Amino acid sequence: MTFSIVGIDQAEYKVGIAITSVFPAVGAVCPYVDNGVAVSSQSWDSGRTYGDPILHMVADDISLGTACDTVLKERAGASGTQLHGMTIDGDAFAYTGERSVEWAGHVIGDDHSVAGNMLTGKETIDSASNAFTNTDGTLEEKLLAALESGEDAGGDKRGDNLSAALLIKGPKSRLYHNLRVDEPGQPIRGLKKAYETAKETDANLGSSANEMWGENPPDSINNYEIKH
């Protein structure tokens, strides 16, 4: 049904998630990020009742593993979920419930974790993991490359995805830090195009603001906050 990759960039102090699914609006349900932590809940049982409390506990200096274990113990549907994530320090957690639809599993690397269910096989997450490790570029580019590679290796065993998303949290908000494509067919391709468009627009905001406001536009024009 779904596979996702969580990644970190310690040098830039950024965390992020790229995810795709044969399920609509996956970006509204599964990925969660905050300062220095990213988690994805997926499969049968997922949503804000996983993501929000985990982020809150980590913000209160509770370890990611303890936070995830606490939430899983409180959920009757935990045996049907996948939950994985990582902090900016490289502290990782991954869980695949026994009722996750085969093929289901996860892998943890030094700076990322990958998890998926209802896949053609383990090659999907292995390919995504390898692509993240071997791709040069920004965290955003590495996550997108991993998503593409996992899909090319097999992806969901039922065929075309319905949605994909990219969610990033870093010191500065950018237009391309919260992107969703909710369109059947090729949402990963659409997500990459959306990223390229948003990045180009973001790069031109300064000159556009200067044309409208003069040489000293209000700081909030260029240094805005996006929602996650």
pLDDT in tens, 117-153: 999 999 999 999 999 999 999 999 999 999 999 999 9
Q: Secondary structure of the chain in the HEC alphabet?
A: CEEEEEEEECCCCEEEEEEEECCCCHHHHCEEEECCEEEEEEECCCCHHHHHHHHHHHHCCCCHHHHHHHHHHHCCCHHHEEEEEEECCCCEEEEECCCCCCCCEEEECCCEEEEEECECCCHHHHHHHHHHHHCCCCHHHHHHHHHHHHHHCCCECCCCECEEEEEEECCCCCHHHEEEECCCECHHHHHHHHHHHHHHHHHHHHHHHHHHHCCCCCHHHHCCCCCC
Assigned CATH for 2-222: 3.60.20.10
Whole-prediction pTM: 0.93
Tell me the domain boundaries of the chain.
2-222
pLDDT tens for each residue of the chain, 228 residues long: 689 999 999 999 999 999 999 989 999 999 999 999 999 998 877 888 899 999 999 999 999 999 999 999 988 888 989 999 999 999 999 999 999 999 999 999 999 999 999 999 999 999 999 999 999 999 999 999 999 999 999 988 887 789 999 999 999 989 999 999 998 889 999 999 999 999 998 887 766 666 677 677 777 766 777 887
